[in-house]
Amino acid sequence: MKKVIVLGATGTIGLNTLSVIEHLGSDWQADLITAFSRKTELEQLARQYNARTFTTDSETMLKEIRESDADIVVNGIAGAAGLLPSFETVRCGKRLALANKETIVMAGALLKTEAARSGAEIIPVDSEHAALFELQRTAAPNQIRKLIITASGGAFRDTPLEELTHVTPEQALHHPTWKMGPKITVDSATMANKGLEVIEAVYLFDRRPDEIEVLIHPQSRIHALIQTAEGTFTAQISAPDMRIPIQNALTYPEKAAAPSPDTDLTAEALTFTRPDPRKYPMLPLAFRAAKSGLSAAITYNAANEIAVAAFLGHRLPFLSIARLTEAVLNKPLPPAPASLEEVLTVDACARTAADQLLASKAF
């Protein structure tokens, strides 16, 4: 029997995880499920999946992770709140099936050091990184020249730049190919999501930022490609369905029967374009942050989180998400943090700076 803890069970990743556990059959059990809000829904899920639950305050969550005899923790928490639960999982030597990309952006290297100490496995669930994780098993690391991740282009892919000034949260939440939580859906529209994923790839796979490339691929069938030394590309193709990378992270290194219908390769042509940096300024900002180092990466994530919350609350125009993030990145940055406590300090400073700029509108 494999027991799984599902953090963020009421979210998109959490619900998909519960559906995968059910699909995998009687050898799999959702042991413990948590969420931050929507308590009634959580209790209903606990009854449906015969799982335990508790009122989430972060201390209880960490204690429950520590004391549970579960084998795997799926972290589907949204935002920086996912960081400490990821560390607790890895410290206990449990497998971390990681959707929460903020964990890697903020503290990827520290987490990997912790995993090396405890023997815990970190398996990416973010679809592009799950694809890269599999693709990289097909070639020696020094033979891989480039890691390419794809982006749908988000809700405004076909909207001209001039029309982005007045777009609303409701419009931004209309994603063309993936069904996801609100924060990541806005991040897809600005491509901050891809920016975070560039940084995630750098830390997760120990690559330089210039070894990572982003292409817009509107059909969301090819999730990532690697290019090897002699120029060959190898791609991973599947339906845009998070149940596939979630299931692979649970069963790794084994494979189980498909959790979702096959994608029809003849349905539409698969195309690629290069993202326009003027339309998606959050992408070049992410590369700049990735090159600059860990404090910039944490600051990029924190400032964007504040900006997106303000946009969703109708307090910030869409195009100002990037302006605010850039203004915070332009402030003097602290030295790279060397501990989890220092990571949290850099994160808190960036949030304060973003809040102050937002209040004063001085950006």
Helix (H, G, I), strand (E, B) or coil at 324: helix
180 closest CA partner among 27, 45, 76:
76
- Taking residues 333 to 352 in sequence order and writing x for each that binds ligand NAD by CB under 6 A, - otherwise, the string is --------------------
Beta bridge partners, 224, equal: 149, 236
Q: Which residue has the tokens 């993936």?
A: 178
CA 319, 127, 220, 19 torsion: positive or negative?
negative
Q: Which residue lies nearer to Mg ion by CB, 88 or 126?
A: 126
Q: Which of 64, 126, 134, 187 binds Mg ion (CB under 5 A)?
A: 126
Least distance (Å) between residue 42 CB and ligand NAD: 8
309 closest CA partner among 192, 160, 175, 174:
192
DSSP code at position 137: G
216/3 Cα distance (integer angstroms): 37
Residue 106 as a binder of ligand NAD (CB under 6 A): the answer is: no
Residue 102 as a binder of Mg ion (CB under 5 A): the answer is: no
Q: Which of 10, 86, 236, 299 binds ligand NAD (CB under 6 A)?
A: 10
Residue 77 as a binder of ligand NAD (CB under 6 A): the answer is: yes
Pick out residues in 176-235 that bind ligand NAD (CB under 6 A). Answer: 178, 180-181, 184
Q: Which of 65, 78, 172, 201 binds ligand NAD (CB under 6 A)?
A: 78
Tokens describing residue 59? 């201390």
160/276 Cα distance (integer angstroms): 11
Residue 102 as a binder of ligand NAD (CB under 6 A): the answer is: yes
Q: Which residue lies nearer to Mg ion by CB, 28 or 287?
A: 287
Least distance (Å) between residue 177 CB and ligand NAD: 10
Least distance (Å) between residue 232 CB and ligand NAD: 27
Residue 152 as a binder of ligand NAD (CB under 6 A): the answer is: no
180 binds, among ligand NAD, Mg ion, none (CB under 5 to 8 A by kind): ligand NAD
86/95 Cα distance (integer angstroms): 10
Least distance (Å) between residue 148 CB and ligand NAD: 17
Which DSSP string do the residues of 86-130 spell out, in sequence order?
A: HHHHHHTT-EEEE--HHHHHHHHHHHHHHHHHHT--EEE-SHHHH
Q: Which residue lies nearer to ligand NAD by CB, 102 or 134?
A: 102
300 binds, among ligand NAD, Mg ion, none (CB under 5 to 8 A by kind): none
Residue 36 as a binder of ligand NAD (CB under 6 A): the answer is: yes
Helix (H, G, I), strand (E, B) or coil at 228: strand
Helix (H, G, I), strand (E, B) or coil at 232: coil
Residues that bind Mg ion in the complex, under the rule CB under 5 A: 126-128
